[in-house]
Structure 1
Amino acid sequence: MPPKTANPAVSPWWTPHVHADRRGFLLARGRIQSALRGFFAERDFIEVDPASLQVSPGNEAHLHGFATMAVGPDGSALPLYLHTSPEFACKKLLAAGERRIACFAHVYRNRERGPLHHPEFTMLEWYRVDESYEALMDDCATMLALTAEAAGNPQLTYRGRYADPFQKPERLSVAEAFEQFASIDLLGSVNESGETDFDHLAAQSRRAGIRVADGDVWADLYSRVLVEKIEPNMGIGRATILDHYPVSEAALARASAMDARVAERFELYACGVELANAFGELRDPAEQRRRFEIEMAEKARVYGERYPLDEDFLAALALMPEASGIALGFDRLVMLATGASRIEQVLWAPVAEAVS
């Protein structure tokens, strides 16, 4: 039997009384978006509009794309995906010669649904050529204040947690956070070449009360500690910039010049919620290909599938100048600024939810 697409016990979002309850959040969303567009315009950013259809949805092991097929006039077929981020397209634009770009992009992630997750949502991304990723930290601090002002709310809030958007965010390395909140020496399990020591992290994880399961790898334990011990403590009272991720978790970020065990990557948190993910951008096509292949091997191991690599993107990296870039979950930011408890409250027309 096919899944149902509506729960009769819950009124649809388009029911007038439900829309009336959501309308204040939606109007605030518009004010926040206008304020952030003004922020970028004042700093000479160009707003770009990347296509959603791409040859690859992205190459992170635990992100899942929506697949489709483009059929040409002659009947020839080309597999395509809805992007999970506009990152690949934006970096191609940097290679083409753009220097400061920003976009509000609809992005699509399968297997994601919950209070903070939706299969289609808005990602705000922006990039700075020849500027360090610390400049993005300053951007975040300014934008949190602008967001609160536009929403007419003096604080960010989510499920009883609060953060002052007018205070400068604290900056904490991942290693410092693991030590502070889990008593784990994280970098003791990472060597200078970026290789990880599962046994070292497993022993410390067990002492911290973290489950270690058969078949786990280092990345599984790292993620479990992060979710259970670290993230709930991030951005309480004021925003947190969680910086210097282990290089094995670098994704598309370059290694730090100060310590080869970590990468120029930070995430922004408020009220225990991850808001943004930023990189000092990697420009080495060979290294990026190696990382993508590792991620796709892990995806095949866990989910039994893999995605193609975007060869145009890898070629463009060789031309891309030094840059920093960041992706921010715009809907989550609106939630925290308005006090919404579920992401559907800040989406104009949420995607229908399939139920059994």
Structure 2
Amino acid sequence: MVAQATQVPSWSPERFAARLPYLRRRALLTQATRAFFTARNYLEVETPYAVTTPGEEVHLNAFRTSRTMPDGVTDPLWLHTSPEFAMKKLLAAGAGCIVQLARVWRNGEGSATHACEFTMLEWYRPHATLNDLINETMAFLRAVLPPTVTCRGTTTSLERAETITVAEAFDRHLHLDILSSVNDAPRLAAAANTALRERETWEDLFFRLMLGHIEPHLGRAQPTFLTGWPAPLAALARRDPADHRVAERFELYVCGIELANAFIELTDPAEQQARFEADRARRHEIIGSTDWPLDHDLIDAIALMPPSGGIALGFDRLAMIATAAPRITDVLWL
């Protein structure tokens, strides 16, 4: 009979001692983050983690739980995949500039830069433009990180940042016009000189090309803000008034790592409901899992929201960059 190998627990003195320098730096990073937003008059908020609607992103799987009332009645709940819905309700309520360091859960995720449970830094600023968010994000990075950072073999200087549109990135690295192929998977496959996989949609192929050909070039020598996302990938972002083919959205890359995702928020409740319903239909087609109710409370709140910019930043990944940690587990307490 072969004895099973015993995995050393993460709390063992040896493993904890190896992580402790990273964790001490993480604690300082948390303090510096709070100081940065306090100085800018942001109000730190806390919103529920167990909710009736955890999110509507097509490819995110949520953890299910339940709530038992004193009378014994049980309601299904989910651990949120982002505090976004709740924070938007606070914007509608008049909370103003708000920030949250929130624990979030995404089932089925795990890699050197992914964890099923992680910390998200999310903040919202009424009346901010996309350029305002870019400038504020760079100010934040410079406030909490050294001028040059190295993580997973890539060194990035924070002296200046690159801003490039999705269309420019596809033209530069794949020599194709991504906006001319929107929602036409065969056309995009032909332009990229690649075979379309079985049941692969335009969105699926877009992200396959992003992962293989675009992302490896982003956020290397300097941070990269990837803007001008095709409108079908707008999620909760507003379409660009100057070019309705794209959304007012950016993703930020530092040390080659996707670090943040930002929107100028959609404030049209009818359009938001239509997008949610389309996302739900797509999710049912792909996952076919038990669903949650549409958050009509959020739809009502969106009608009252001021024009705002919002950004979600992976705090554990930021800690990796701050400490040069090779794996996300190195910066987790347990």
Counterpart check, 1:204 vs 2:197? no
Question: What per-residue deviation string (whole Å, max 9, x for no partner) do you get for residues 107-160 of structure 1?
Answer: 0110101111111100000000112122110111112212224xxxx5222321
Counterpart check, 1:162 vs 2:155? yes
Q: 1:93 aligns with which of 61, 86, 90?
A: 90
Q: 1:78 aligns with which of 71, 75, 79?
A: 75
**2:104: which partner in 1?**
107
Q: Which runs of 4+ in 1 moved over 6 A?
A: none
Question: What per-residue deviation string (whole Å, max 9, x for no partner) do you get for residues 223-277 of structure 1?
Answer: 1011111111110111000001001000000000111000000000012211000
| Contact 1:155 1:337 (C-alpha < 8 Å) held by counterparts | no
Question: Which SS does the other structure have where 1:277 is aligned?
Answer: strand
**2:127: which partner in 1?**
130
**1:224: which partner in 2?**
208
Amino acid at match of 1:102: V
| Contact 2:129 2:264 (C-alpha < 8 Å) held by counterparts | yes
**1:148: which partner in 2?**
145
Identity of aligned residues (%): 45
| Contact 2:166 2:227 (C-alpha < 8 Å) held by counterparts | yes
TM-score between the two structures when normalised by the length of structure 1: 0.90
Question: Which SS does the other structure have where 1:235 is aligned?
Answer: coil
Question: Which SS does the other structure have where 1:315 is aligned?
Answer: helix
**2:261: which partner in 1?**
277
- Rounded to whole Å, the distance in 2 between the matches of 1:317 and 1:93 is 10
**2:270: which partner in 1?**
286
**2:306: which partner in 1?**
321
| Contact 1:162 1:236 (C-alpha < 8 Å) held by counterparts | yes
- Rounded to whole Å, the distance in 2 between the matches of 1:289 and 1:230 is 31
TM-score between the two structures when normalised by the length of structure 2: 0.96
Residue 63 of structure 1 and its aligned partner are, at CA, apart by 0.6
Question: Which SS does the other structure have where 1:58 is aligned?
Answer: coil
Question: Which SS does the other structure have where 2:244 is aligned?
Answer: coil
Structure 2 unmatched runs, 5+: none
**1:188: which partner in 2?**
180
Amino acid at match of 1:158: C
**Greater CA drift, 135-144 or 232-241:** 135-144
Question: What per-residue deviation string (whole Å, max 9, x for no partner) do you get for residues 52-89 of structure 1?
Answer: 01111100110110011111111222111100000000
Amino acid at match of 2:188: L
| Contact 1:58 1:307 (C-alpha < 8 Å) held by counterparts | no
Q: Per residue, is there more strand in 1 or in 2?
A: 2
Question: Which SS does the other structure have where 1:238 is aligned?
Answer: coil
Counterpart check, 1:215 vs 2:202? no
- Rounded to whole Å, the distance in 2 between the matches of 1:15 and 1:74 is 42
- Rounded to whole Å, the distance in 1 between the matches of 2:195 and 2:52 is 38
- Rounded to whole Å, the distance in 2 between the matches of 1:162 and 1:290 is 42
Residue 11 of structure 1 and its aligned partner are, at CA, apart by 2.0
- Rounded to whole Å, the distance in 2 between the matches of 1:184 and 1:272 is 23
**2:65: which partner in 1?**
68
**1:193: which partner in 2?**
none
Amino acid at match of 1:325: G
Question: Which SS does the other structure have where 2:326 is aligned?
Answer: coil
- Rounded to whole Å, the distance in 2 between the matches of 1:294 and 1:279 is 19
| Contact 2:186 2:196 (C-alpha < 8 Å) held by counterparts | no
- Rounded to whole Å, the distance in 1 between the matches of 2:29 and 2:163 is 25
Question: Which SS does the other structure have where 1:320 is aligned?
Answer: coil
- Rounded to whole Å, the distance in 1 between the matches of 2:29 and 2:161 is 20
Counterpart check, 1:330 vs 2:315? yes
**2:242: which partner in 1?**
258
- Rounded to whole Å, the distance in 2 between the matches of 1:277 and 1:131 is 15
- Rounded to whole Å, the distance in 1 between the matches of 2:293 and 2:209 is 30
